[in-house]
Amino acid sequence: MQKSDVLIIGSGVAGLSTAIYTAMKRPDLQITVLTKTNERKTNTSYAQGGIATVWNLENDDFESHIADTLDAGDGLCDPRIVRIVIEEGHDRVKQIIEWGARFDKNEKNKYDLGREGGHSKNRILHYKDITGWEIQRTLSDKVKEFDNVRILEHYFALDVITQHHLGYSVTKATPDIRCFGVYAFDKQSHKIETFAAKVTVIATGGAGQIYRATTNPVIATGDGIAMVYRAKGRLANMEFVQFHPTALYTLTDENPDFLISEAVRGFGAILKSKEGEEFMHKYDERKSLAPRDIVARAIDYEMKVRGDEYMCLDCRHLDQKKFLDHFPNIYKKCKSIGIDPFEQLIPVVPACHYICGGIRTDDMGRSSIQNLYAAGECTNTGLHGANRLASNSLLEGLVFGERIHRDIIATIDQRATKDKLPDWDIRGTTAPKEMVLITQSWKELKEIMSNYVGIVRTDVRLRRALNRLNLLYNETEDIYKNSILSPQLCELRNLITIAYLVTKSGMSRKESRGLHYNTDYPNHFDFIDQTYL
């Protein structure tokens, strides 16, 4: 059994910022970070547009960023959390600049603040079109300064350890579920190890891989959310899945789909049909820069009515030098598939991008399970409500990483690590004979979710999805019980859980709101507030 004071699952913005803040204040604590592939393979590394924060107080103010976030969230944000993240966000961004993060500046040597959908002001700090790469680089370099943080790569966390593993019955109604650590599969030795800790932080990111088209890298399989669900922790708002309006349309099956950042529209690009006709004015006065739920739905509708496989982004009128300066990677990618953005329209389609629901936490990142925190995309903190405002996600990861460290250092000395925990119960005796069964089920899952639980939903589609998911669930549980574990099998199980939760929550919301649009209930009915699971 491996013991730590603080165990963090995930090495993206949320996990590493928690580790760094805690290590800075308490060099005496043993901090372990587990990550299922290599440290920098995270959603964080893929972020393009930037990080939203009120930077220029002459032209912007907290109230305006708060109002934009609440407006995008369509009535379901927690205003107190929104204020916390936006007000504290400024100092967190200053801090990562002190740690070495570079953001682009203009000719006056001031930060070049970009614009994205739903923002009423230019307030996005960015590094070219690879801001996430720069933030990951900064945090990955910074964390190495601390001897008391060890990062274990290629460790796949399987389950949160609670009283259940000590032989006690645990249900959703159990008032004091406690976390003692996690079981994790060492992908190199193929052994399952027990990691005991005083506190555990889940920072496992999103779950975009439940859909056929997604901007999320293959690590985004919702493991942390599924683990907390199995441990009977509280989740909320899982029906709110954000589709980014503009993933690059290609003829090859890329996974993930390449994103054309919303910052490109913030820079002046315009959404058009193949024929070059503008259409966004029919849906929102903010046109191409309306919030994402509105733009993605408009594109989906236009594609269906016109029978087109994609819509387009027109960049031909933009300043070429400035465009190349801002978006070198997007330009390069378009050119690599034979599209010259200065000559041609860029073909785009919506793709699954972000999950707004997740592990329910309070204002200090505490989950409903004792000793268990959660941060980043795997959470539902109340910031995003029914639809996340662009570039608020990296900010949330930094703010909650810092808040969780405060709660940890205030309480860790009163907590203990369990001396003894049972080994993982090795079920199954044989290696899975046919890996193809796992990959095939994953493909089926993506089809079900894309066809029936996408941007536009109906009761019939949701019911159909649930029936098919039940079949996949039973087949997968059968393999799980009878064969030796593999990360692929565990990811499939987690993805089926996430798909079930998205569908089930969608079925219980009898209204359309934010990212959840059901044509059987096209209006807001103020039917329910949050959907808890």
Residues 116 and 52: their CA atoms lie apart, in Å, by 9
* CA 278/CA 295 separation, integer angstroms: 13
Query: Does residue 390 touch ligand SIN according to CB under 6 A?
Result: yes
391 binds ligand SIN (CB under 6 A): yes
Q: Give the residue ranges of DSSP H helices in 355-458.
A: 393-411, 435-452
- 100-126 burial, b for 16+ CB within 10 Å, e for fewer? ebebbeeeeeebbbbbbbbbebbbbbb
User: Does residue 135 belong to the site contacting ligand SIN (CB under 6 A)?
Assistant: no
- Tokens representing 143 are 């964390």
* Bridge partner residues of 347 (DSSP): 312
b/e per residue 194-220 (b: at least 16 CB within 10 A): bbbbbbbbbbbbbbbbbbbbbbbbebb
Q: Provide the minimum distance between the beta carbon of 446 and ligand FAD in the complex, in angstroms, as a whole number.
A: 16
Closest approach of ligand FAD to the CB of residue 324, in Å: 19
**Of the listed 115, 212, 265, 292, which one is catalytic?**
292
Residue 439 structure tokens: 């990959």
Position 391 contacts ligand FAD (CB under 6 A): yes
402 is a contact residue toward ligand SIN (CB under 6 A): no
Three-state SS at 406:
helix
Q: Which of 204, 182, 160 is nearest to 42 (CA)?
A: 204
Binds ligand SIN (CB under 6 A): choice among 45, 237, 261, 486: 261
Is residue 117 near ligand FAD by the rule CB under 6 A? Answer: no
Q: How many CB atoms lie within 10 A of CB 437?
A: 17
Count of residues of this chain found to bind ligand SIN when the rule CB under 6 A is applied: 8
- In angstroms, give the least distance from the CB of 82 to ligand SIN: 16
49 near ligand SIN (CB under 6 A): yes
Decide if 457 is catalytic: no
User: Among ligand FAD, ligand SIN, none, what binds residue 138 when CB lies within 5 to 8 Å by partner kind?
Assistant: none
Neighbours of 75 (CB within 10 A): 13
Q: Is 256 in the site for ligand SIN (CB under 6 A)?
A: no
| From candidates 73, 89, 132, 350, binder to ligand FAD by CB under 6 A | 132
- For residue 256, cis peptide bond before it (omega within 30 degrees of 0): yes
* Comparison of 397 and 506: residue with beta carbon closer to ligand FAD: 397
Cα–Cα distance, 161 to 424 (Å, whole number): 10
Taking alpha carbons only, the member of 231, 474, 514, 524 closest to residue 372 is 231
Q: Which two tokens stand for residue 6?
A: 């603080």
Query: Min. distance of Cβ 458 from ligand FAD in angstroms?
Result: 28
Of 44, 288, 381, 476, the one binding ligand FAD (CB under 6 A) is 44
Least spacing, CB of residue 413 vs ligand FAD, in Å: 27
User: Residue 474 and residue 288: Cα distance in Å, rounded?
Assistant: 43
- Cα–Cα distances (Å) from 423 to 1, 140, 182, 369, in that order, read 8, 31, 11, 21
Q: How far apart are CA 9 and CA 191, in angstroms?
A: 18
- Of residues 5-24, which lie at the interface with ligand SIN (CB under 6 A)? none
Question: Pick from ligand SIN, ligand FAD, none: which does 223 bind, CB < 5 to 8 A by kind?
Answer: ligand FAD
Considering the rule CB under 6 A, would residue 69 count as an interface residue with ligand SIN? no
Please give the residues from 358 up to 377 whose contact with ligand FAD meets the rule CB under 6 A: 376-377
Q: How far is the CB of 389 from ligand SIN (least distance, A)?
A: 8
Residue 4, H or E segment:
strand 2-9
Q: Is 32 in the site for ligand SIN (CB under 6 A)?
A: no
Residue among 392, 411, 361, 378 nearest 92 (CA): 392
- Residue 446 CB contacts under 8 Å (≥ 6 apart), including other chains: 209, 210, 211, 212
The partner in contact with residue 44, picked from ligand FAD, ligand SIN, none with C-beta cut-offs of 5 to 8 angstroms by kind, is ligand FAD
The residue range among 23-31, 374-382, 390-398, 487-495 that interacts with ligand SIN, by the rule CB under 6 A, is: 390-398
Number of residues assigned to the chain: 533
| Shortest CB 365 distance to ligand FAD, Å | 12
259 binds ligand FAD (CB under 6 A): yes
Q: Which among ligand FAD, ligand SIN, none contacts residue 15 (Cβ within 5 to 8 A by kind)?
A: ligand FAD
Considering only 18, 138, 393, 486, the residue that binds ligand SIN (CB under 6 A) is 393
Tokens (6 digits) for 225: 């959310």
Cβ 262 to ligand SIN shortest distance, Å: 3
Residues belonging to the active site: 292
Q: Write out the residues near ligand FAD by the rule CB under 6 A.
A: 9-15, 34-37, 41-44, 46-51, 131-132, 155-157, 203-206, 215-216, 219, 223-224, 259, 354, 376-377, 391-394, 397
Q: Write out the residues near ligand SIN by the rule CB under 6 A.
A: 48-49, 261-263, 390-391, 393
